[in-house]
Structure 1
């Protein structure tokens, strides 16, 4: 329309009259069709259907659609969009979307879609972080509290999508290290116990050998003192033999 009007204005009165009577309606119809075609890119399902019907109906149908015929289709698309968000949202998102649907005006629906859903989503994410804290391991708790202290949607989102998994990995690594430390400490205690047992057995063997040696010396002395007494010598020899056997048994354990 602008191009045709500019051309008419530089001409004479007949050019203007021709523009107003003939070219203006054609240029307006062309602009209307272009407007609807351009709207198809971002339109919802109901709006696209309405645009298609208008374009198929001719210039009069296109003009009627632009003058108000689109309103019911746009309202339907807004309702569908809010309902879709409601179906996939958390508690706060469901609450706010339900209020928008109950109000039912285009303004309420648009306000929810443009800003209300994001505020509600932030609220739901903070609640999710708080719920994780209830059973959080040490690193997860630290990361969650850091996100809540920051308070920004970006910090909360980062914790839920990335931070909590980094924290869980660190907690698992720490648990594995602690388990290894416990195993090493347990094995150390067992080795120490075995060493103490070996030392005790060694000391018992030394004591038994000393007793056997003393018994042998005593038997020798008794044998020398009782050379004429065969029975006494035999008893002394038997005593020495038993002492030697005891020492050998102690040493073998």
Structure 2
């Protein structure tokens, strides 16, 4: 869909679609210090339209911090962060929300909103634009994609942890931003819904979007990501396709535990397991 770059005069600058392979977000030389500790040390990252990029590494490696830098929630102490060709400070809060949608590890709602109402909150950046009339369709599609249509009338506060995670994902999908930034979206989910989330990410990329996902399951990353970035101690230690980057030597060193990487006997796809 072709989108104008502004609406109305003086209103937010609306995004335009990116071509597959275009760099839509970029981190250069990022350093981040939190609580006196340097948690990112000279990190570079490119996010391209049409790709799923997984951020991997052990606890404390800097994955969520790097995602927070991309969202703009964590200002870097050195380096630059850009979205759609401009540093984050170039965009207003609304303009950022039109370009990237963020799913946090934990989502809390203090008031008794229904799931449908929470999902509709994802449409708020589009209020007053020509695309406000897409709200109903976007909410319906988000609910269905995250498998929470049957929960639409339930209070968000009464849901289980996994149901809340899926409802929060539906809100992010309804936002229809070109860049999805997902922080451990599979953590509270059962096996079926873990696969569902990464399949959604894969489809979003195939439709021209860009997805960055923090995930602990190396097998999911190998199966669904186009590229992976492995962090350790706040530094990028590997970056590339899963087949190139996720080697047993690298993973065993990063996780300080022996890891096997082999081809599935039926499909030939990469399988990653701890040595047991």
What TM-score does the superposition give when structure 2 sets the normalisation length?
0.18
* Greater share of helix: 1
* Greater share of strand: 2
Larger Rg: 1
Q: Larger relative CO (CA 8 A, sep 6+): 1 or 2?
A: 2
What TM-score does the superposition give when structure 1 sets the normalisation length?
0.19
